[in-house]
Structure 1
Amino acid sequence: MMIVTTDQVAGYEIVEVKGYVKGSTIQTKHIGRDITAGLKGIVGGEIKGYNEMMTEARKLAMHRMVQEAEEKGANAIIGMRMQTSTVMSAAAEIITYGTAVVLEKIN
């Protein structure tokens, strides 16, 4: 599955638009990560536990978006965007979205 942030792909033609697709997940903080984050807040540095959590959340949201596109018969997603937001004090949502399309290579 090709995924691009652009609306066109060089060397390819959009032959069919399948429509809007998205994937999302909501992740919550873990008490162990909170303790580490509190210590990092004092001494500074990267909060690896949160970084790992958000990396996994992005992967899951992307996977869900791709699944939806495949179910619609698409072979690519154009105009892909990713956003994050806080849904409550201890949880963040990651959402990915774009337009599912069928691309054909131009000869």
Structure 2
Amino acid sequence: MLVVTTENIRGYQVEQVLGHVFGVVVRSRGIGGNITAAFRSLAGGEIKEYTEMLEDARKSAIDRMVQNAHNMGANAVVMARFDSSEVGQTMSEVVAYGTAVVVREE
């Protein structure tokens, strides 16, 4: 499955636009991770526990988006984007979204 942030894929022709596709993940650190992160935030700098959580959430969101596109019959996703937000004080939502398409090599 090709996933690109552009509207077109060089060397490919879009044959069919199947529609909007997305993958969403909501994650939270456990109590131990939140306590560790709170102490790290006092000193400043990167909070590795949250960085790892968000990296994993992005990967999962992409995987879910790709699976949804595959289920629609797509072989590519164009205009792929991410969005994220906080849900409550301890959870993060990550959404990967784009347009599912069928492409063929030129």
In which range does the TM-score fall when normalised by the shorter chain?
over 0.9
Q: In angstroms, what is the RMSD of aligned CA positions? A: 1.0
- Unaligned residue ranges in structure 2 (runs of 5+): none
Query: Given the two structures, how large is their TM-score scaled by the length of structure 1?
Result: 0.93
Counterparts of 1:41 and 1:72, CA distance in 2:
43
Counterparts of 2:31 and 2:80, CA distance in 1:
33
Counterparts of 1:45 and 1:89, CA distance in 2:
20
Counterparts of 2:35 and 2:12, CA distance in 1:
49
Amino acid at match of 2:11: G
Query: Given the two structures, how large is their TM-score scaled by the length of structure 2?
Result: 0.94
Counterparts of 2:84 and 2:3, CA distance in 1:
19
1:1-107 correspondence to structure 2 within 5 Å:
1-106=1-106
Amino acid at match of 1:94: V
Query: What secondary structure, in the 3-state scheme, does the structure 1 residue paired with 2:34 have?
Result: helix
- Unaligned residue ranges in structure 1 (runs of 5+): none
Counterparts of 1:80 and 1:47, CA distance in 2:
27
Counterparts of 1:29 and 1:52, CA distance in 2:
10
Query: What secondary structure, in the 3-state scheme, does the structure 2 residue paired with 1:37 have?
Result: helix
- Which segment drifts farther, 34-43 or 5-14? 34-43
How many pairs align?
106
Give 1:45 shift: 2.6
